[in-house]
Amino acid sequence: MRAFLTMVGKDLRQRSRDGTLIVFALVLPLGLAFLLNMLLGGDPEEDFSARYGVVDADGGELASMFVEDVLEPLEGEGILELRTFASEEEARESVEAGEIDAAFLVPDGFTDDLHNGDSVELRVLGDVDSPDEVQVADGVAEAFAAEYHRVELAVTTAEPSEEERAELALRAAEAPAAVRVVEDTDADWRQLDSPTYYAAGTAVFFLLFAAMPGVVSLFEERRTGTLVRLSASPVSTLGILAAKLASTVLVGLVSMVILITVSTFSFGAEWGDPLGVTVLTVAMVLAAVGIMSAVAGFATNAEQASSWATVVAMLLGLLGGALFPLANLGGLADLSYLTPHQWFLRGLSDLSTGDGLGSVLLPVGVLLAMALAGASVALYRMGRMLHP
């Protein structure tokens, strides 16, 4: 353990003197996040205007009430533009094409089920590119659900007796909401606000670059001749490689902590539940180091390792929606699930709904699996460097 800590300490000392690390780990992500947020993030004080669609598969009284009494008055006030679609497919295509920000999907049987006292779903299909507009649509649907519940109770209890009042009050308190609003996650929409999205995106984008000096350092050790001395020392191969990876992980964690702190206080990023963010961040750093180490493990020298790692970091960052929304990728968006960036941002999105650690178990699991796979490949390949 002492030798392990000695090697980690030496590596951290060398990394701390590396000016390019400061640039990649702090200056670039913060600068780019600030710029993107300023240029693309929009001003929250500006007048709100959204483009919504509605699919009324029910055609009944209550569905019409939602459209005519809720949505159309808002359109009349200029808050939104409303389009009507014949089917969910048409609405989805329009959302994915960016023609509308969100669509309300009123299912067949909506009115009858409500009259029968059954619970129904009012779905909101959101555009990944319009998080604010989707949030408002969600709010409108929630408001209707709450209002309908209240009105329904009032209708059923017209001129009740004292006993009936007491019984209905009890039922009202215990009854689930008649209308349940369902957010459609199939469309990959996320609720991260602009400052958080750009801060998180640029942080993880540059995290892979910040990990590069660490994973390439083994090649540097070989170039300077010190690798032979390490290999000849009474330290196991696993210990040497683990120390290399550990120092890189620590650099990544420090970088992320600084970026999260600065972005929170300087441009209002809201990362979510601290415990969830901590676990998600640790998993992301491990995944980044694992993947970059695996890539470097296939190189034959430091220059090649740096080049390959740069290409992979760029590709994963772009495919993972770290710098611009996934909707811009069109058919390639599905590939984002192969990137740690997507899972990290998705985890943050899940946290932003107000849920805690439990909501990010899937993203954390995927990230840890990526970390494990990458580290396994790296340990095998780099172990051969130490003892050919």
Partner 1 sequence: MTFLEVEKVSKSYGSNKAVEEVSFSIAEGETYGLLGPNGAGKSTTISMIVGVLRPDSGSIRIGGRPHGVGNNATKAQIGFVPQELALYPDLSAWDNLMFFARLYGVSGAEARRRCGEVLELIDLADRARENVSAFSGGMARRLNIGVGLLNRPRLLILDEPAVGVDAQSRNAILESIQRQAAEGVAVLYTTHYMEEAERLCDRVGIIDLGRIRAEGTQRELVSQVGEDDTIVLSLSGGTERAVLALKKIPQVREVSTEGSEVRLLVRDARSTVPLVLETVADSETVLRSVEVREPDLETVFLHLTGKALRN
**Rounded Cα–Cα distance for residues 318 and 329 (Å):** 9
| Residue 77 binds to partner 1 (criterion: CB under 8 A) | no
Q: Which residue has the tokens 């970091």?
A: 313
Which 27-56 residues touch partner 1, going by CB under 8 A? none
User: Given candidates 225, 330, 331, 358, which one binds partner 1 under the rule CB under 8 A?
Assistant: 225
Quick one: which segment of 126-134, 343-351, 356-364, 380-388 binds partner 1 (CB under 8 A)?
A: 380-388
| Residue 328 binds to partner 1 (criterion: CB under 8 A) | no
**Rounded Cα–Cα distance for residues 126 and 135 (Å):** 9
Shortest spacing between CB 241 and partner 1, in angstroms: 14
| Residue 380 binds to partner 1 (criterion: CB under 8 A) | no
> What sections of 268-301 are H helices per DSSP?
274-297
| Residue 128 binds to partner 1 (criterion: CB under 8 A) | no
Shortest spacing between CB 350 and partner 1, in angstroms: 43
**Rounded Cα–Cα distance for residues 373 and 369 (Å):** 6
Which 226-285 residues touch partner 1, going by CB under 8 A? 226, 228-237
Query: With contact defined as beta carbons under 8 Å apart, do 141 and 182 qualify?
Result: no
Which is closer to partner 1, CB of 236 or CB of 307? Answer: 236
Shortest spacing between CB 2 and partner 1, in angstroms: 6
Which one-letter amino acid corresponds to residue 69?
Answer: D
Interface size with partner 1, residues (CB under 8 A): 24
Query: With contact defined as beta carbons under 8 Å apart, do 34 and 267 qualify?
Result: yes
With a CB cutoff of 8 Å and minimum separation 6, the contacts of 333 are: 188, 326, 327
Q: Identify which of 136, 134, 107 has the alpha carbon closest to the alpha carbon of residue 122.
A: 107
Which is closer to partner 1, CB of 235 or CB of 329? Answer: 235
Which one-letter amino acid corresponds to residue 218?
Answer: L
With a CB cutoff of 8 Å and minimum separation 6, the contacts of 335 are: 319, 329
Which is closer to partner 1, CB of 64 or CB of 231? Answer: 231
Shortest spacing between CB 323 and partner 1, in angstroms: 33
| Residue 1 binds to partner 1 (criterion: CB under 8 A) | no
> What sections of 17-97 are H helices per DSSP?
19-22, 28-40, 61-65, 72-76, 88-96
User: Given candidates 87, 156, 224, 266, which one binds partner 1 under the rule CB under 8 A?
Assistant: 224
| Residue 310 binds to partner 1 (criterion: CB under 8 A) | no
Number of residues written out for the chain: 388
| Residue 17 binds to partner 1 (criterion: CB under 8 A) | yes
Residues lying near partner 1 in the complex (CB under 8 A) are found at 2-3, 6-7, 10, 13-14, 17, 224-226, 228-237, 386-388
